[in-house]
Chains A and B, each alone.
Chain A
Amino acid sequence: MDELIERAQAGDHEAFGEIVQRTAPDVRAFIAAFCPSAAQIDDLAQETYVRAYQKLKGYSHEGLLVAWLRGIARNVVFEDRRNRRREAPLKSDALNALVDERVHQRTASSDVGRKVDSLKECLDRVGGTSRQLLEDFYVKEHTSEAIAQSLGRTASWVRVSLMRVKRKLAECVEAKLSTPRAG
């Protein structure tokens, strides 16, 4: 990665593109924690990388590049949030507005980066049917009805099973967060 960064700092676009490709999942997941709306993640991630490119020469190789990018992403997200509130009244319904506000409060008081990293590690441990359920639901974006059909189960079974997997993930994340960070 260091060599890629040096090449990108020297103006090599391809090297920067490679950095984007390698870091995008981590940066996007971080943004998603602040802003669950999938439609906005693309824009915010793109803006993050444009700003990173402009600031890249000032990057000093101290600490991880992903952490540096997440710092930029945090600023982009907060700026976007302020602008949204200032410029356009929320068009979303009462439930979405409640959820948005609560997500905002949650991100203001937690180490989002560490939570995302912990969740990533916990996800890597999920296998078998649980993994299949997660991939069908989140990656293939199948509805619980569609998953139920393919598995010969009921939609309720799928929904409850998904919640169980997520609960285990949440417990795993909690356990990791309660362990002091190494170093």
Chain B
Amino acid sequence: MQNTRLDELIVGYAEASLSDTDRAELTRRCQQDPQVLDRLAEETQSDAVIRELLHGGDPLAARQRAMRSIKELDQTASPRELGAAVVSSLKGEGTASRRPLRRSRPRKTSWLPFVAAAASVLVLVGAFFALRPKPPEPDRTAATVVEVVGTCELTREDGSESARKGARVLPGQTLTTAAQSSAKLRYADGTTLQLQADSSYSLLAAVQGKPGELLQGVVEADVAPQPEGAPFTIRTPHGLLTVRGTRFVVEAEAEGTKLQVSEGKVEIADKDASTRALVSAGGKAEIRTEGVLLRFLPTADAYIQNNVTQNDETLRVEDKFHDRVSYLHFRIAGIGTSTVRSAKLRLRVTNDPGSGTLRVFRGEHSKWNEETLSRSNAPRDGEAVGTFKGRMSKDNQVVVDVTSLIKGDGDITAIMRLKKGCNDVWFCSREGTHPPELIVTLGAEDAQSR
């Protein structure tokens, strides 16, 4: 019974669902019994490793992040500059796309001889600072204009003026860029916002966090990790983005707000917060009147022609002269407990148009990639999830309703087949210029699970 109780506490700790009372009980047991602490540490450690082994930590995202970092390093011209860039990135300086890392530890030096001298200096310095009036705390919600290109305007309560480099922007004030202009704002924690042309951004007042409002236009944000419970938020006319330290671009248009996340995660919610989604690196989402839209590109796609796997710029389907079946692998994330209103698979017809009945099936598994897919290990057809009937003209889009394909977050495979005897068709693959897209529209969250 005791062990069962401990099991429950440990799983609760892993899923961060312990009540205050349970947490206090687990803390007390760990403090009193080293074996309990050892067990909890072991479970926590194995949880983290199992999670990574099962999930793989999104290897594609890891690749993209590493590629960005090494490209930035390579852009430096000489070994000396390369070294400087590395040191700079380790200190979290500059605009490197990877998140700032903690400062490197200085090289060990023989410091002991200096301790005595340093101690006496510290006493004097300490006395000086104790008597000196404290400088005002930097206003963490204010930002500074660090770059201005073209015409930019700063609107305060008492009127507007031309925005200049070095100007402070306080809560309640708005920075606006004209056509062919841009401006960059930087907060004290290193967070930067790049306002593109014809954009308008207001800083909002708050007790905690750094709220702002994108009234119109486009902002590219590089947000430093924010303190727990004090997120960086951007309101748009259509909803709210909550940021936990990441890089993303947000665009407020008349018909909706578009979000593209390049690093980290951003929570996107509609105006009344009835629908929300967590958008990860590489993800795209939109807030529209019909709800929150998540856009997914395939993480892998290929087709099998007769018995040979082909991975080129096309996805071909045919059951006439050749046997051609196409496979699309998607990694769905961010839906959480929201309800899926619809899911549409958008395909672009490339070189070879066709006609007939295109059928989409759920793959029975998604444990394949473009290198390993073969006739013998390809997922078998599961339930039919969508059909398109008609002409599929060159350079036009074919949209298949595949709502029943989406059951929540996780990996899925869509298998595309053309009905026997129909005119074969080629679609653009993810390697092509118009990759397939899976557009998932979310509704309100499941009330029971909120």
Q: Which residues of A contact B (CB under 8 A)?
A: 13, 16-18, 20-22, 24-25, 28-29, 31-33, 35-39, 41-43, 45-47, 49-50, 53-54, 79-80, 82-84, 86-87, 91, 93-95, 98-99, 102-103, 106-107, 116, 119-120, 123, 134-135, 137-141, 143-146, 149, 156, 158-160, 162-163, 166, 169-170
Q: How far is the CB of A170 from chain B (nearest CB, A)?
A: 7
Determine if A83 and B102 form an interchain contact, defined as CB atoms under 8 angstroms apart. yes
Interface residues on B, range: 35 or more
- If A99-B41, A119-B49, A135-B54 touch, whether A50 touches B410 (CB-CB below 8 Å) is no
Complex Cα distance, B37 from A29, in Å, reads 22
Residues of A within 8 A of B15 (CB): 137, 143-144
Determine if B56 and A163 form an interchain contact, defined as CB atoms under 8 angstroms apart. no
Q: Can you list 20 residue pairs at the A/B interface with Cβ under 8 Å? A: A13-B74, A20-B59, A28-B57, A35-B48, A43-B101, A45-B62, A46-B98, A50-B98, A94-B31, A99-B41, A106-B45, A107-B45, A123-B53, A138-B51, A139-B54, A140-B408, A144-B17, A163-B11, A166-B46, A166-B50
B27's partner among A46, A98, A159 (CB-CB below 8 A) is A98
Q: How far is the CB of A164 from chain B (nearest CB, A)?
A: 9
**Chain A CB within 10 A, most for which of B7, B13, B69:** B7
Determine if B66 and A143 form an interchain contact, defined as CB atoms under 8 angstroms apart. no
Q: How far is the CB of B29 from chain A (nearest CB, A)?
A: 10
Residues of A within 8 A of B64 (CB): 17
Complex Cα distance, B53 from A162, in Å, reads 16
Determine if A80 and B102 form an interchain contact, defined as CB atoms under 8 angstroms apart. yes
In the assembled complex, B73 has its CB within 8 A of some CB on chain A: yes
B105's partner among A39, A83, A95 (CB-CB below 8 A) is A83
List residues 1-42 of chain B with CB under 8 A from any CB of chain A: 4, 7-8, 10-13, 15, 17, 23, 26-27, 30-31, 37-38, 40-42
Determine if A144 and B51 form an interchain contact, defined as CB atoms under 8 angstroms apart. no
A36's partner among B12, B44, B62 (CB-CB below 8 A) is B44
Determine if B52 and A32 form an interchain contact, defined as CB atoms under 8 angstroms apart. yes
Residues of A within 8 A of B264 (CB): 42
Determine if A106 and B41 form an interchain contact, defined as CB atoms under 8 angstroms apart. yes
In the assembled complex, B80 has its CB within 8 A of some CB on chain A: no
B41 to A, closest residue via Cβ = A102
Determine if A32 and B51 form an interchain contact, defined as CB atoms under 8 angstroms apart. yes
Q: How far is the CB of B358 from chain A (nearest CB, A)?
A: 30
In the assembled complex, B71 has its CB within 8 A of some CB on chain A: yes
Determine if A17 and B63 form an interchain contact, defined as CB atoms under 8 angstroms apart. yes
Determine if A41 and B57 form an interchain contact, defined as CB atoms under 8 angstroms apart. yes
In the assembled complex, B346 has its CB within 8 A of some CB on chain A: no
Q: Which residues of B contact A (CB under 8 A)?
A: 4, 7-8, 10-13, 15, 17, 23, 26-27, 30-31, 37-38, 40-57, 59-60, 62-67, 69-71, 73-74, 82, 86, 89, 98-99, 101-105, 225, 228, 264, 337, 408-410, 449
Residues of B within 8 A of A33 (CB): 45, 48-49
Determine if A20 and B62 form an interchain contact, defined as CB atoms under 8 angstroms apart. yes
**Chain A CB within 10 A, most for which of B10, B47, B50, B86:** B50
Q: How far is the CB of B235 from chain A (nearest CB, A)?
A: 25
Determine if B55 and A138 form an interchain contact, defined as CB atoms under 8 angstroms apart. yes
Query: Across the A-B interface, how many residue pairs have beta carbons closer than 8 Å?
Result: 197
Residues of A within 8 A of B410 (CB): 135, 139-140
B8's partner among A37, A99, A145, A160 (CB-CB below 8 A) is A160
Determine if A103 and B73 form an interchain contact, defined as CB atoms under 8 angstroms apart. no
Determine if A160 and B66 form an interchain contact, defined as CB atoms under 8 angstroms apart. no
Q: How far is the CB of A149 from chain B (nearest CB, A)?
A: 8
Residues of B within 8 A of A45 (CB): 57, 62
Complex Cα distance, B26 from A145, in Å, reads 20
Residues of B within 8 A of A18 (CB): 63
Additional pairs, 7, CB under 8 Å, beyond known A86-B105, A106-B38: A13-B70, A25-B56, A54-B73, A87-B102, A95-B26, A140-B408, A141-B409
Determine if B52 and A20 form an interchain contact, defined as CB atoms under 8 angstroms apart. no
- If A123-B50, A160-B7, A160-B8 touch, whether A53 touches B65 (CB-CB below 8 Å) is no
Q: How far is the CB of A158 from chain B (nearest CB, A)?
A: 8
A159's partner among B7, B48, B51, B104 (CB-CB below 8 A) is B7
B52's partner among A28, A47, A94, A98 (CB-CB below 8 A) is A28
Residues of B within 8 A of A36 (CB): 44-45, 47-48
Residues of A within 8 A of B66 (CB): 16-17, 20, 46, 49-50, 53
Complex Cα distance, B47 from A170, in Å, reads 11
Determine if B86 and A54 form an interchain contact, defined as CB atoms under 8 angstroms apart. yes
Q: How far is the CB of A54 from chain B (nearest CB, A)?
A: 7
Complex Cα distance, B42 from A98, in Å, reads 12
B90 to A, closest residue via Cβ = A47
Residues of A within 8 A of B53 (CB): 25, 29, 116, 119-120, 123
Q: How far is the CB of A121 from chain B (nearest CB, A)?
A: 10
Determine if A29 and B52 form an interchain contact, defined as CB atoms under 8 angstroms apart. yes
Determine if B30 and A95 form an interchain contact, defined as CB atoms under 8 angstroms apart. yes
- If A17-B66, A123-B54 touch, whether A102 touches B37 (CB-CB below 8 Å) is yes
